[in-house]
Every structure is written in C-alpha cells, then in structure tokens.
Chain A
Amino acid sequence: MNPIQISMEHVTYSYEKSCPILKDITFKANKHECIGLIGANGVGKSTLLKLMVGLNTGYEGQICIEGIPVVKENFPKTREKIGYVFQDADSQLFMSRVYDDLAFAPRNYKLPEPEVEKRVRKALEMVHIEHLKDKQIYKMSGGEKKLASIATILTMMPDVILLDEPSIALDPKNRRTLIHVLNQLNPLKIIASHDLDMILDTCSRVILLSDGKIIRDGDGKEILSDRELLEAHGLELPLCMQGIPD
C-alpha cells in the first residue's frame, strides 16, 4: 500500500492573478505523520489546507490524495478520505444537537442507523465528550464546541485530518485536552497554527511557510528551536523554549 497520502507538486495558487498567495509548493505527507504548518498571518496556511480538500480550486501544479488528483470530478472520493476542521467551530456545527451534527456525515454516506450510532458513540469517546451527546450546540462553551467539531469528522473515519488553528480561543485546560486528543488520533494530521507550543507537543514534522513558499520542512524540534529562523519569518520561539512555562 502506498505510504504517501498527500502529495503536492509545484502548486501555485492565487486569489488575484497578479499576486500568488502560494508559490511552487512541493511536499509529501506519509501515513500516521503529524505535520505542523506554521507561518505568520496571511502566508497561506489556511489556503493550503483548503486546496487539499478542494474548497479552493483553480490551482497550478498537482495535488493528490492517496494517488487521486484533487479535481472536481474526484471530490466525492477525496473528500471521503479527509476530515477538515474549520477554524471557527460555529461554522462546523450547524445542527441543533451534538448527536445530529456528528451523525451528519455517516448518514450522508448512507450508513445504517446502528452503524451511525456506533460511530457517533466512538467519536464522542475519542474526544472525551460523551456527556455532551444530547446537548444543544448553542449552550456549549468554546472548548466543548472545538472538541465536538473534531468529533464531527472522526465519525467519517478519515485517513487524513486537517485542522485549521485548532487551539484558537481555548483556555489552558481545554488546550491541554485538545493536545491529548490530537496525540491519540492515528491518521495523518496536518495542523495549521500559530500556537507553536501546541505544534511542539503534537507534531514531529514542521513545515514553515513564508511569503507563500516553503522555507523549511523538517524535524519539528529542530525548526521550532531555531530562534533566528523563526524570527526572520515573523514567529517566535515556543514559550516553553523561551524559559516561560507553558
């Protein structure tokens, strides 16, 4: 079986023709890896994730998920393999109850109701929110919503999980829970974030983006401990490496 799950080759993308936001991006992501996508605001982290799921189209180059090119005709096939967690949990959760939201994907894939129920229960257990099963979404806190939004994609049993700023607006306790949950998840994970401490705790590999290009792709600890490199591209050392306890 092919260990490469995502491959991007010479991908260039622009919202406006004159100024490409991503330039000649090439990388491969293997099974069970956890990759941190870091970079200052506006370097194209979210855009890169959206390209992988086909929310942004019209790119140059080639993007493949398990060998299948990410083009319109293949969206149903590729999207079934990918779970994408939006930055804003309110965009991810649109049903009235947690259970219905989690059941949305498996029901769309026409799974029988007992299987849907099994998957929902398992997803809730994985993110430790079994007690929220019947809760109304508007009554949930930001942390609960974030965990629930991760659970919504786990019911799809995806091979790849993409997370856009997962730790944003989380308190320390919820952030720790999130890191714990992410470390337990087995599929390939790509996490776009500014929270370098979280990236350090979850990702073994880091891709540093700047000015729409990949500046460095390599070992997480090595890149995240390189003060000069990070500061040159609008970032800072993770707090734990600055001598400030996390």
Chain B
Amino acid sequence: MSKLDNALCEIYHMDEIAEREQWLNHIHSLIKLVITVCFITVTVSFSKYDLAGVLRMGVYPIVVFIFGELSFRSALKRLKVILPVVCLIGVFNPFFDRQPIMEIGGIMVTAGVVSMLTLMVKGIYSVFASYLLIATTSIEKICYALRLLHVPAVIVTQILLAYRYISLLLEEASRMMQAYSLRAPNQKGVHFKVWGSLVGQLLLKSIDRANEVYESMLLRGYQGEFPYAAKGFFRVRDCVYLGVWFVIFFCLRVMI
C-alpha cells in the first residue's frame, strides 16, 4: 500500500475508533472537550522546573488509554511525526540555563536540562490528550461541542469541511499516483518534470470533487451551519466523569 493510501486508511481508522461502542466514546463530547482543555491548561501551568509535578499529570493519559481500551503502540505510531517535533521544544535550554540544581550519581544536572525535560513532557502530554480526544470522539461530535461553547459557526464548519477535504484530496492524490506509477513502472517516485502538472491536476480535480460534495450538501438543505444531532442534556455519568477529573486535576496541581 502506498503512503497516501496508508494515510487515508489512518483517517478512516481514526473515524472508526471514534465511533466504537465503548463507554468512553459515549461520554458527552462537550465534557471530553472541556476535560482535555482543562488537562492541557493545568499541565502547562506548572513551573518550568517542576518536572515531578508535570510527570504526575501522566495519570490522565494513562487512565484514559487503559479504560478507553486504546492501543498505546498505535498511538505512538500515529504520532511518530509530531512527537519528535514536540521534543525539540526547549532543546536549547541546557545551553542558556547552566545553573546547577542537583547532582544525580555524580552527574551535575542543570536547570536548563530540567526545564527542557519539563517542556518536552508538557508537549507530549498535550499531544496525547488531543489524540485521546479525537480517538474517543468523532469530528462531528467535537464540532458540536465547539458550537455548544459558542465558537462561531463559520470557524466550526471550516474545521469540519477541512477535515473532510483532507480525505478527498488524499483519495484523488492516491488515484493519480496509481495511474502515474502504472505508466512509469521502473521509476521511483515522481519525476520532477511532471510535479507541476500533477499538483495542478490534483488541485483542479479535488476542487471539482469538493464542489460536487458542497452541491450535494446544498441540495439537502445546508445553509451554512452544519446540522448536529441534538444530544440533549448531560447524563449523570457525564457529570461524574467531569467531576472526578476536576478533583484529580485539582489534587495533582494544588495539594500534592
């Protein structure tokens, strides 16, 4: 399978995971969104030298991975591009902040190293929290939650359509690459001379396709605001889930 097909499969697979019949998936999307935002806010609020405090926040991703029956290995595989980028944050701190703060096994640890590690952990946790949100909530439900938070319809619709457009673009790109490779069997990759026309065609085709999808939406009553299934009021378990995590975050941040 080509890289494009793999990427497409990953998108479809994420949609599938988000639609599983699992209790965590049935928690109200607004609750999960609020908890995610709250977790990220609390995590980044720790001081840059409080590595132990930040590490303790790991309880959230660990618990959600376990109770959500999500594969940690698959998550790492999916996040293999973004995680190294996140780890680059603060990579220069050890060079600027050389004040020694402790000694471990005869090796002096500087404040720069601690702040670098703290930033890395904060970044990794934030990425995992976002991953856990999209792995347990479909894009439509996340957008519905955003609308409940009064995020403007234009922005929410843009997010939703952009997400849909990615798969359209990948489908077209995959089809074109297949057609190209079948007529250039001995060639590895795409010859630079055809890059221009290939990208141009891809753009035109995907715009055509996106336009047809948009027309189909218009013909079914779409008038600028995406229709979401009204989820009704929060249930007791939603409130319990929210309450439990608020207490845990409060304890981890303030009391311990």
Which residues in B have their C-beta under 8 angstroms from that of A55? 215, 219
CB-CB nearest 5 A-B residue pairs: A108-B221, A107-B227, A105-B220, A91-B212, A96-B15
Residues of chain A in range 64-93 having any CB-CB distance to chain B below 8 Å: 76, 79-80, 82-84, 86, 88, 90-92
Listed in ascending order, the chain B residues whose CB lies under 8 Å from chain A are: 12, 15-16, 19, 138-140, 164, 171, 209, 212-213, 215-223, 227-230
Q: Residue on B with the closest CB to A53?
A: B219
CB of A108 within 8 A of CB of B227, answer: yes
A152 to B222, CA, bound (A): 14
Which of A53, A90, A107, A109 lies in contact with B228, CB distance below 8 A? Answer: A107
State whether A96 and B216 are in contact (beta carbons under 8 Å apart), knowing that A91-B209, A103-B229 are contacts in the complex. no
A153 at interface by CB-CB < 8 Å: yes
A79 to B217, CA, bound (A): 11
Listed in ascending order, the chain A residues whose CB lies under 8 Å from chain B are: 53, 55, 76, 79-80, 82-84, 86, 88, 90-92, 94-97, 100, 103-105, 107-110, 113, 116, 134, 136, 138, 152-153, 156
A96 to B229, CA, bound (A): 14
Which residues in B have their C-beta under 8 angstroms from that of A84? 216, 219
A80 to B221, CA, bound (A): 7
Q: Residue on A with the closest CB to B12?
A: A138
CB of B216 within 8 A of CB of A92, answer: yes
Question: What number of residue pairs across chains A and B have CB atoms under 8 A from each other?
Answer: 69
Q: Residue on A with the closest CB to B139?
A: A96
CB of A107 within 8 A of CB of B229, answer: yes
CB of A97 within 8 A of CB of B213, answer: no
A90 to B206, CA, bound (A): 13
Which residues in B have their C-beta under 8 angstroms from that of A105? 220-221
CB of B105, distance to nearest CB on chain A (Å)? 52
Which of A79, A91, A100 lies in contact with B213, CB distance below 8 A? Answer: A91
